[in-house]
Amino acid sequence: MSDVTRLSVFKTYKLYVGGKFPRSESGRVYEVTDSKGSWLANAPLSSRKDARDAVVAARKAFGGWSGATAYNRGQVLYRVAEMLEGRKGQFVREVADAEGLSKSKAAVAVDAAIDRWVWYAGWTDKIGQVVGGANPVAGPFFNLSTPEPAGVVTVLAPQESSFLGLVSVIAPVIATGNTAVVVASEKSPLPALSLGEVLATSDLPGGVVNVLSGRTAEIAAPLAAHQDVNGIDLTGADEALAKELEIAAADNLKRVLRAERTDWSADPGTSRLTAFLETKTVWHPTGSLGASGSAY
């Protein structure tokens, strides 16, 4: 057997929708190459139908995920970091190929992405205290403001910095209780598609994150106009596409995040955590009401 040349087992990359791994319903694929133009894999070329299916899955998952305790969401995000740590070698190879980095520099990027998951995991049960609170009111009542997730958010992953940037746009969306439909980097989608495999084994309920690959403009257009999408992060869109998508998003008053070019290695702050939060204010009377003296 020693003189037999073993054939490599090539990986079949698939979408991640509703906790499952479908091929594009269109059956289309496109070639993904490395920084030198060498073939790496065939990635699914998502269709409008795939985009609609992803929104349905995200909406179905929203109630359970947004209703989970913030502490529990933090545990799940930390579990994602654990699973990534165990598969670090695979992601170092994929990031090196996708971004044209040396293995050592790719390892630094993957470590930073893992740390970013941990960082956002720590914020899940704290962001409410930062942006919510009791408000001073002139009258015999008081009110409390608390943040709530907006709903289903479309995320256009950055075209560059395919992994650290990817994690930096997904993690804050789901940390605050939203569900996400992610459009992977058109040029370098493989780390995003592999991330779906990690999410599927990290206690994250199916449908909380859905990952599509293909032509960014083709997938993003129906998502921006979709009436059941509540927000859109335009990070991965160029200037012309971002303007087009903003116009489409205005039809049902989506929240739109149009961030400037970002240094993903910098301290991310809390801006992305608050980008897709709504503030709910509850009013309560003060003083004794009825025989029990309780306020309702």
Residue 104 lies in a domain: yes
| 36-48 average pLDDT score | 94
For the stretch 268-295, pLDDT in tens is 999 999 999 998 888 878 765 444 433 4
Assigned domain for 189 exists = yes
Is the pTM of the predicted complex or chain greater than 0.85?
A: yes
* Total structural domains within the chain: 1
Cα separation, 202 vs 78, in Å, equals 9
If you average pLDDT over every residue of the chain, what do you get? 91
pLDDT at 145: 83
Q: Is residue 247 part of a domain?
A: yes
Domain coverage including residue 157: 29-285
In a domain, 49, yes or no: yes
Q: Beta strand pairing status for 141-149 and 277-285?
A: antiparallel
How many of the other CB atoms lie within 10 Å of CB of 107? 17
Please state which of the ranges 157-161, 234-238, 247-251 shows the lowest mean pLDDT: 157-161
CB 13 within 8 A of CB 213: yes
- Is the model more confident about 283 or about 65? 65
Mean pLDDT, residues 240-247 taken together: 95
Lowest mean pLDDT among 67-76, 113-122, 169-178, 251-260: 251-260
pLDDT at 1: 52
pLDDT, position 31: 95
What would the pLDDT profile of 113-145 be if each residue is shown by its tens digit?
A: 999 999 999 999 999 888 887 777 777 777 888
Query: Is 125 exposed, middle or buried, given 0-12, 13-18 or 19+ CB atoms closer than 10 A?
Result: middle
Give the number of residues written for the chain. 296
Residue 116 corresponds to which tokens in the numbers above?
Answer: 């970013």
Instruction: Let me know if residue 24 belongs to a domain.
Output: no
State the pLDDT at residue 291.
41
What is the distance between the alpha carbons of residues 193 and 10, in angstroms, rounded to a whole number?
15
Instruction: Label residue 15 by pLDDT band (50, 70, 90).
Output: very high
Tell me the β-bridge partners of 257: 233
Residue 160 within a domain: yes
> Residue 215 domain-assigned?
yes
Distance CA 91, CA 106 (A): 8
**What per-residue confidence (pLDDT) applies to 115?**
97
pLDDT attached to residue 290: 42
Cα–Cα nearest to 73, from 138, 113, 124: 124
Q: Residue 277 sits in a domain of what CATH number?
A: 3.40.605.10
Q: What is the mean pLDDT of residues 139-154?
A: 88
| Residue 281 domain-assigned (yes or no) | yes
Residue 28 has pLDDT above 80, yes or no: yes
- pLDDT at residue 24 greater than cutoff 70: yes
Report the share of the chain in percent with pLDDT over 70: 95
Higher pLDDT, 86 or 280: 86
